[in-house]
Amino acid sequence: MPAFPQAAKQELANSQLRHNLANATSTIRHKRAEVVGELDDWAQLREAGAAIKSHTLSNLDTYLERFEEAVTAAGGTVHWARDAAEANRIVVDLVRATGEREVVKVKSMATQEIELNEALQDAGIDAWETDLAELIVQLGHDTPSHILVPAIHRNRAEIREIFQQEMGKVGTPAPADLTDEPARLAEAARRHLREKFLRAKVAVSGANFAVAETGSLVVVESEGNGRMCLTLPETLISVVGIEKLVPRWQDLEVFLQLLPRSSTGERMNPYTSTWTGVTPGDGPQSFHVVLLDNGRTNALADEIGRQALRCIRCSACLNVCPVYERTGGHAYGSVYPGPIGAVLTPQLRGTTSEVDKALPYASSLCGACYDVCPVAINIPDLLVHLRTRVVEEHRGWQSKPMDALMSMASWVLGDSRRLAAAQKVASLSRRVIGRKGTIGRLPPPLSRWTDARDAPAPAEETFRTWWERNRGSDSR
Amino acid sequence: MRVALFATCLGDTMFPAAPKATVQVLERLGCEVEFPAAQTCCGQMHTNTGYRKQAKSSVRTFVDAFAGYDAVVAPSGSCVASVRHQHAMVADGDRKLGRAVAEVAPRVHELSEFLMDVLGVTDVGAYFPHRVTYHPTCHSARLLRVGDRPLRLLRAVRSLELVELPAAEQCCGFGGTFALKNPDVSVAMGADKARHVRETDAEVLCAGDNSCLMHIGGLLSRQRSGIRVMHLAEILASAEGADR
């Protein structure tokens, strides 16, 4: 996987992708703005959301223990996983203990993050995604490129093609006369999934929220496919990041307003499922929660960085991000793409790989993401914070010339006489590089600017010189 | 009123027309303008690229140069945002510098803020008989929240025809060193911005930041669009029969 600048270049060349993304993100952006505008107390709700999450994160140890007690009291079992490998091992063992060879899945970012489907496959267990978009991605042997709309990069014609070629290989095939009408595509997916829902004995989910006081888990969704998985099977295994906790049942009041308006631009999401332990004769009779760290405590240890753990995965920041809109999610090389991915992933994984080092720089710092974030994560400041970390941890990485240039510039800009001397050199260069006021193509590395943009020539006379010439006596 | 001008390093070196125009407008409105010669740069390039330690020399120079002034004005929303928002971050752990920053930063104003909030003026007596469109740069719009101040100033300019820029709130893709670190994405964003500018049929693209104008203007120039880019200060300084 190449780092963002190279990966983005490839994606930018795909005009169909850019068209699909621009359409989808602008539609959802406008929908969100409309429904958020309806609430007079949005600012207060946002503040409350941020405050509840910050409080929980500051007392996470207490709330995690309280959650475990409540789940256990309700007849469920809590498992603790330090990393992806441990979480996958726990889930594989739990499925094996049932004797089953397949699971149905509720859309879950946590299981994407730990690559659970791959781990299950290695253990000879089939994992079927049941969220429509995840199904499209899975059947297409593809990876999601958006948190909420994993198949955002695909259009209807492509989806029809995938359904016709792939559904029959793993279950009920698509009808031979399938068209690319949304209703027909949904019908094909429903037939394909129904067989799996009715057969599966084990389901795997994530959770949008985990309530400490009651031990309850919450999943919000638009299709109802998740609810099928949460109610029909005999065994339910939920993989939940430790940052998903909220202290009280009452706190959901805030988040169930913030989340749907921010993510799908709806006043309320169509399906909200909550479950607590097991209830004899109703729903799964065996229930497990796998609480996942996988780098979250690293982020928690960083006083500035920890605000990224407030994220409720609404994806509003992706939909307003001008960088995401043009490159799509695959360019980020991260399960969490877009602005939130650029700040979350380097904290979860560290900044040793080329991909992770480049992520904090995959933003123009325009600030649109901070404006829409329902839990007020200051993503631009966080990006700058992480850039500082990358520079300090990897001096020399940004190429020696960049380090040298920045040190030189720092020296020049530290003193006005040194700046004035540098300006004299720049003004002189005007005689060599152009008197017209603009400069055309230059050799590398300056070609990074001039390949597509003319550059301005340094001014004939700097402001400083002009001022001295005209008002010399006034300056101090 | 005694006002210190912060020309910004980019304005001073590459685009002196903007700080000159700022001086003209302020003097026309009766201000006594000074240019503290010790000034250099706000340090944003270093801070935003992750070189926070190297940003310190600029921040120190800035507070030394502007200490003691009641008001500092700069023709750049981005540099003012850097002073007001980032200088405290850069000073973190250095109590002496932190105190100096807390003293100076709140007195630093972006041009449109200063004209409307401090001087209470909307009509600066300008005359500019051209079709103009305005790009609200991200740091002016989102970090400083200058809102419609620049638009109200432009609407008060005699003979100026202001036309709306489609998707105005979208970033132009400059982003400081982003333009060099991610040149392809930066250009893709800038190309859309330039297309929207051309759609307006404007003669002039105006903004409150020469950095963004350098990027969009570089694209418009390469495309031989014939559209000029001008800083807000330059338009506000234009007057009937004036020497420029």
* The two three-digit tokens of residue A376, written as one number: 């007020």
Residues of A in contact with B39 (CB under 8 A): 416
Q: What angle do CA A259, A260, A264 make, to 5 degrees?
A: 120
Distance CA A48, CA B158 (A): 47
Domain of B58 in residue numbering reads as: 2-118
Identify any residues that bridge with A456 across adjacent strands, giving them in sequence order: A438
Chains A & B: contacts with CB separation below 8 Å:
197
Q: What is the pLDDT of residues A256-289, one digit of tens each?
A: 999 999 999 999 999 999 999 999 999 999 999 9
- Together in a domain, B59 and B144: no
Give A302→chain B minimum CA distance, Å.
Answer: 15
Residues of A in contact with B19 (CB under 8 A): 463
Strands of the B32-34 sheet, one edge to the other: B32-34, B2-5, B72-74, B108-110
- Together in a domain, B110 and B142: no
- Together in a domain, B82 and B37: yes
- Together in a domain, B104 and B9: yes
- Cβ <8 Å between B40 and A416: yes
- Together in a domain, B107 and B27: yes
Nearest to A476 among B36, B45, B54 (CB): B36
> For residue B154, is it within any domain?
yes
**Which of B66, B93, B118 corresponds to the end of one domain?**
B118
- Together in a domain, B82 and B150: no
**Which of B90, B118, B146 corresponds to the end of one domain?**
B118
- Together in a domain, B162 and B85: no
Between positions 18 and 37 of B, the ones with CB within 8 A of A are 19-20, 34-37
> For residue B205, is it within any domain?
yes
Q: What angle do CA A453, A456, A457 make, to 5 degrees?
A: 135
> For residue B50, is it within any domain?
yes
Distance CA A341, CA B178 (A): 17
How many CB atoms within 10 Å of residue B116? 20
| B191–A contact, CB cutoff 8 A | yes
- Together in a domain, B64 and B91: yes
- Together in a domain, B139 and B63: no
| A373–B contact, CB cutoff 8 A | no
Q: In the 3-class helix/strand/coil scheme, how is A307-367 assigned residue by residue?
A: HHHHCCCCCHHHHHCHHHHHHCCHHHCCCCCHHHHHHHHHHHHCCCCHHHHHHHHCCCCCC
Position A403: which residue type?
A: D
What's the half-sphere exposure (Cβ side, CA atoms, 13 Å) at A274?
Answer: 10
Between positions 98 and 157 of B, the ones with CB within 8 A of A are 138-139, 142-143
β-strands A209-211, A245-246: how paired? parallel
- Together in a domain, B145 and B203: yes
Helices of type H across A38-131 = 42-58, 60-73, 84-98, 109-113, 116-122
Residues of A in contact with B230 (CB under 8 A): none
| B233–A contact, CB cutoff 8 A | no
This model of the complex carries an ipTM of: 0.96
> For residue B126, is it within any domain?
no
pTM above 0.90, yes or no: yes
For chain B, strand residue ranges (E) read 2-5, 32-34, 72-74, 108-110, 131-134, 161-163, 204-207, 228-231
Q: Which residue has the tokens 């132009």?
A: B172
* The two three-digit tokens of residue A234, written as one number: 């005999």
Distances (CA, A) of A90 to A77, A116, A128, A200: 12, 11, 19, 19
- Cβ <8 Å between A391 and B215: no
Give B63→chain A minimum CA distance, Å.
Answer: 12
Between positions 79 and 98 of B, the ones with CB within 8 A of A are 86, 89
Position A116: which residue type?
A: L
**Closest chain A residue to B224, measured at CA:** A454
Nearest to B16 among A4, A391, A466 (CB): A466
> For residue B242, is it within any domain?
no
Q: Considering its fold, how many domains does chain B have in total?
A: 2
- Cβ <8 Å between A453 and B65: no
If residue B99 lies in a helix (H) or strand (E), which one and from where to where? helix B95-104
Give A7→chain B minimum CA distance, Å.
Answer: 10
> For residue B125, is it within any domain?
no
Contact A145, A14 (CB under 8 A): no
Between positions 157 and 176 of B, the ones with CB within 8 A of A are 169-171, 173-176
Residues of B in contact with A454 (CB under 8 A): 217-219, 221-222
| A453–B contact, CB cutoff 8 A | yes
**Residues in contact with A350: Cβ distance below 8 Å, sequence separation at least 6, in sequence order:** A295, A298, A356
**Which of B92, B118, B144 corresponds to the end of one domain?**
B118
Per-residue pLDDT 10s for chain A (476 aa) are 899 999 999 999 999 999 989 999 999 999 999 999 999 999 999 999 999 999 999 999 999 999 999 999 999 999 999 999 999 999 999 999 999 999 999 999 999 999 999 999 999 999 999 999 999 999 999 999 999 989 888 889 999 999 999 999 999 999 999 999 999 999 999 999 999 999 999 999 999 999 999 999 999 999 999 999 999 999 999 999 999 999 999 999 999 999 999 999 999 999 999 999 999 999 999 999 999 999 999 999 999 999 999 999 999 999 999 999 999 999 999 999 999 999 999 999 999 999 999 999 999 999 999 999 999 999 999 999 999 999 988 765 556 677 888 888 999 999 999 999 999 888 887 777 666 678 888 888 888 999 999 998 888 899 999 999 998 755 44
Burial class (CB in 10 A: 0-12, 13-18, 19+), A167: buried
Residues of A in contact with B191 (CB under 8 A): 452
| B185–A contact, CB cutoff 8 A | yes
> For residue B45, is it within any domain?
yes
Between positions 42 and 61 of B, the ones with CB within 8 A of A are 43, 45-52, 54-55, 57-58, 60-61
**Closest chain B residue to A455, measured at CA:** B218
- Together in a domain, B22 and B70: yes
- Together in a domain, B17 and B43: yes
Question: Given a cut of 90, is residue B83 above it in pLDDT?
Answer: yes
Contact A294, A344 (CB under 8 A): no
> For residue B243, is it within any domain?
no
If residue A431 lies in a helix (H) or strand (E), which one and from where to where? helix A416-433
How is residue A234 annotated by DSSP?
Answer: S
Q: What angle do CA A139, A141, A144 make, to 5 degrees?
A: 90
